[in-house]
Chain A
Amino acid sequence: MAEMTYRDAVARGIAQEMDRDPSVVLLGEDVGSAGGVFKATVGLLDRFGPGRVVDTPISEQAILGAAMGAAMTGLRPIAEIMFSDFFAVCWDIVANEIAKTRYMTNGQVSLPLVIRSANGGGARFGAQHSQSVENWAMAVPGLKVVAPSTPRDVVGLLAAAVRDPDPVLFFEQKSLYPAKGDVPDGEVVDELGCAAVRRHGKDATVVALAAMVPRALAAAERLAGEGVEVTVIDLRSLVPLDVTTVSASVTETGHLVTVEENPRLCGWGAEVASIVAEERLFDLDGPIVRVTTPHVPLPAADALEDAAMPTVARIVEGVRRSLQ
């Protein structure tokens, strides 16, 4: 067991898979010599060489097209899109090509590839470098969507994503890069589509993702001081979505609160809420509450960004609303 940052866990996870499988390659802007703009790929070029760790021009379509063509001919590429906001300039390759090709070809083409991207707010980068776009990906059939909240999960879920035979969008929450956590020694591999119960309580179920998980845990701690015991579920993956774990918890607690970094409309919590409403309505003892960023672009100033994203206080208030 070693303590490491979320950022170092990315390089650790990639190295684990590149060591294991020579068909795994890494490409993206500044991923090689520079070690990544977030320093999440430091050391990989030296370790695996310029054939397998490749710097690209600022050409997001070319990056993802190269990943797709390589995946359909025997490699298992890990492509980096530096900021998830940049998916907007290569969404054709993601949504029209990568997501649909297996289906359109009646299963002739497999695309075992991973697209990593720095997602989310908290770094004061403004509206074009801070978006939470995991719900864009969730809306397209054919994409798996993963967002780890801990260094351990970065390694385990990245390994699962690389080994998965289908395309996986892997969202690294950029404000978590400096966060530290224990990662077991040796190989760490998870399964996609398994939520983790981070804290157990009988009074309400709080479902969160990525950077919202530590905030939900802080809210749970505060509520415990008031005698309210909250279960915190870290979804870890949106597609596949672990409905079983969420539903079982709602049946126990009777209350559901989602904590989403994405702007309000069509955030992932809306899907979770609709499933629970459809399938567990009579287990609910209060309204489903969604705590989200308001439906606005993220502002840059720290005071404004902090006011926009879900805070511990807003999560606490959301739980209270559900319990009333």
Chain B
Amino acid sequence: MTELQDWRSGGASASGGRSVGSAPFGPVPIEVRTSIYKMMVEMRDFEKRAYDLFLQGLVKGTSHLGLGQEAVAAGFAAAMRPSDYTFATYRGHNHTLARGAPMTAVMAELMGRQAGLMAGKGGSMHLTSVAHRMMGSYAIVGAHLTIANGAAWSAKLRDTGEVVVCFFGDGTTNIGAFHEALNLAAVWKLPVVFVCENNRWMEYTPISSVTAVAHPAADRARSYGLDPVLVDGNDADATYAAARAAIERARAGAGPTLVEAETYRHGGHSRADPGKYRPEAEVQAWLARDPIPRYRSRLLEAGVDESVLRRIEEASRSAVDAASTEAEASPPPDSSLVETDVWADGGSSWRR
């Protein structure tokens, strides 16, 4: 086993700065990098709009934004095949968009409209688009790691070459299901990649104050016979490189990988939380490492014309405008939907 692969010490799994050309897959094509940038910009614009619509009372219930964490979702999505599966958490807007689910349907779901991805029956915390192999956003911490295993087991038995990527937060590493899932994935050598988005805060509590080890996911890897992988989660080249390595390993039949991506959420835990408990200096330090301007600078340095990036940014704003308008124009779901789709026959009858 290798030593802890730590991006801060220039470890092998992370591209660290501009070393992306040294990844084992050769230079990353510029089209891939601009597509990663596009995804990140769209996620950012979408979630900022979702927050505005919440302030206007149009987005109901709760929602958990991934503002600041876009490089994880985009880097991994860019490395996945369309036939690979995503499992995410209630902080899942970005992961859903990254797999290609339409913005309008996602926004309408947040707004509880008929045009929603699930016609309003799931809401922000349960975004699912099977057509895009986005197999669900799960709101009970830890559960979906075990479910991701099942999809990976199925892919292995059916010999399809599909890989499962399962995202979760740092808080998940302290629940039993995490450990049950990691052990089973390792024992069964499943084609699954577990991605811990360590944003340093378990809801309102610093993860370091409730966890026995410094790196909540990476330091647990060896317990399951896995190499620890720590990656700069605010560097989209690094997350892409880590994703490529882990996904190829899974596809080759070499079993699971546990990746810890260090990142930061710009806002609070959920819409009700202004996140004021976090030290201002910490917030500022991480805002300075915002993955999007960082990647923009890097693409410019790599020779991408600024007009290309501007077109991406303008198109994203227009797309979010259109999605918001369309979602708002959609009527609420018909009340008949209350009693549909409990069962495969489309209904909810429990008697005969």
A61-B180, A65-B145 known; A243-B352 Cβ under 8 A: yes
* Contact present for A73 and B154 (CB under 8 Å): yes
Q: Once A and B bind, how many residue pairs between them come within 8 Å at the CB atom? A: 161
* Contact present for A74 and B154 (CB under 8 Å): yes
* Contact present for B350 and A239 (CB under 8 Å): yes
* Contact present for A92 and B130 (CB under 8 Å): no
- Of residues 58 through 110 on chain A, the ones whose CB sits less than 8 Å from some CB of chain B are 59, 61-62, 64-75, 77, 92-93, 96-97, 101-110
- Of residues 33 through 72 on chain B, the ones whose CB sits less than 8 Å from some CB of chain A are none
Q: Which chain B residue shows the least CB distance to A79?
A: B150
* Contact present for A243 and B351 (CB under 8 Å): yes
* Contact present for A108 and B130 (CB under 8 Å): yes
* Contact present for B150 and A71 (CB under 8 Å): yes
A180 CB, min distance to chain B CBs, angstroms: 30
- Of residues 322 through 341 on chain B, the ones whose CB sits less than 8 Å from some CB of chain A are 337, 340-341
* Contact present for A69 and B151 (CB under 8 Å): yes
- Of residues 125 through 151 on chain B, the ones whose CB sits less than 8 Å from some CB of chain A are 126, 128-131, 135-136, 138, 140, 142-151
B180 CB, min distance to chain A CBs, angstroms: 4
B146: contacting residue among A62, A109, A166, A194, CB under 8 A: A62
Q: Which chain B residue shows the least CB distance to A141?
A: B342
* Contact present for A102 and B344 (CB under 8 Å): yes
A residues less than 8 Å from B176 (CB atoms): 61
A267 to B155, CA, bound (A): 40
Q: How many residues of A contact B (CB 8 A)?
A: 50
A22 CB, min distance to chain B CBs, angstroms: 10
Chain A 128-151 against B: per-residue CB contact (8 Å), 1 yes, 0 no? 000000000000011000000000
A190 CB, min distance to chain B CBs, angstroms: 14
- Interface locus among B181-189, B202-210, B311-319: B181-189
* Contact present for A65 and B128 (CB under 8 Å): no
Cβ of A51 < 8 Å from any Cβ of B? yes
B351: contacting residue among A64, A142, A194, A241, CB under 8 A: A241
* Contact present for B119 and A106 (CB under 8 Å): yes
A residues less than 8 Å from B346 (CB atoms): 107
A residues less than 8 Å from B348 (CB atoms): 141
Q: Which chain B residue shows the least CB distance to A55?
A: B187
B residues less than 8 Å from A141 (CB atoms): 342, 348, 350
A58 CB, min distance to chain B CBs, angstroms: 9
* Contact present for A105 and B184 (CB under 8 Å): no
Cβ of A297 < 8 Å from any Cβ of B? no
A51: contacting residue among B145, B148, B157, B341, CB under 8 A: B157
Cβ of B271 < 8 Å from any Cβ of A? no
A105: contacting residue among B136, B149, B181, CB under 8 A: B136
A142: contacting residue among B140, B143, B144, B342, CB under 8 A: B342
Cβ of B276 < 8 Å from any Cβ of A? no
* Contact present for A64 and B151 (CB under 8 Å): no
A102 CB, min distance to chain B CBs, angstroms: 6
* Contact present for B148 and A69 (CB under 8 Å): yes
A197 CB, min distance to chain B CBs, angstroms: 15
A residues less than 8 Å from B149 (CB atoms): 62, 65-66, 69
A86 to B183, CA, bound (A): 19
B178 CB, min distance to chain A CBs, angstroms: 10
A residues less than 8 Å from B340 (CB atoms): 106-107
Cβ of A36 < 8 Å from any Cβ of B? no
A193 CB, min distance to chain B CBs, angstroms: 5
A residues less than 8 Å from B144 (CB atoms): 65, 97
A65: contacting residue among B119, B129, B177, B342, CB under 8 A: B177
Cβ of B90 < 8 Å from any Cβ of A? no
B residues less than 8 Å from A25 (CB atoms): 157
A67 to B229, CA, bound (A): 28
A residues less than 8 Å from B145 (CB atoms): 65
* Contact present for A72 and B140 (CB under 8 Å): no
B153: contacting residue among A66, A105, A242, CB under 8 A: A66
Chain A 207-245 against B: per-residue CB contact (8 Å), 1 yes, 0 no? 000000000000000000000000000000001111110
Cβ of A186 < 8 Å from any Cβ of B? no
Q: Which chain B residue shows the least CB distance to A111?
A: B344
* Contact present for B126 and A240 (CB under 8 Å): no
A102-B341, A105-B122, A165-B344 known; A66-B350 Cβ under 8 A: no
Cβ of B243 < 8 Å from any Cβ of A? no
Q: Which chain B residue shows the least CB distance to A110?
A: B344
- Of residues 275 through 301 on chain A, the ones whose CB sits less than 8 Å from some CB of chain B are 275
- Of residues 126 through 183 on chain A, the ones whose CB sits less than 8 Å from some CB of chain B are 141-142, 164-166
A103: contacting residue among B151, B153, B177, B342, CB under 8 A: B342
* Contact present for A66 and B146 (CB under 8 Å): yes
B residues less than 8 Å from A108 (CB atoms): 118, 128-131
* Contact present for B350 and A241 (CB under 8 Å): yes
Cβ of B152 < 8 Å from any Cβ of A? yes
A13 CB, min distance to chain B CBs, angstroms: 21
Cβ of A16 < 8 Å from any Cβ of B? no
* Contact present for B153 and A70 (CB under 8 Å): yes
* Contact present for A69 and B147 (CB under 8 Å): yes
* Contact present for B183 and A57 (CB under 8 Å): yes
A65 to B270, CA, bound (A): 26
Cβ of B307 < 8 Å from any Cβ of A? no
A291 CB, min distance to chain B CBs, angstroms: 22
Cβ of B121 < 8 Å from any Cβ of A? yes
A72-B135, A109-B130, A242-B352 known; A65-B181 Cβ under 8 A: yes
Cβ of A33 < 8 Å from any Cβ of B? no
* Contact present for B349 and A73 (CB under 8 Å): no
Cβ of B194 < 8 Å from any Cβ of A? no
Cβ of B343 < 8 Å from any Cβ of A? yes
A18 CB, min distance to chain B CBs, angstroms: 13
- What are 7 contact pairs spanning A and B, CB under 8 A? A61-B181, A64-B146, A66-B149, A69-B135, A77-B150, A104-B126, A240-B351
The 5 A-B pairs at the shortest CB distance, nearest first, are namely: A69-B150, A65-B146, A165-B344, A62-B180, A59-B180
Q: Which residues of B contact A (CB under 8 A)?
A: 85, 118-119, 121-122, 126, 128-131, 135-136, 138, 140, 142-155, 157-158, 164, 176-177, 180-181, 183-184, 187-188, 337, 340-344, 346, 348-352
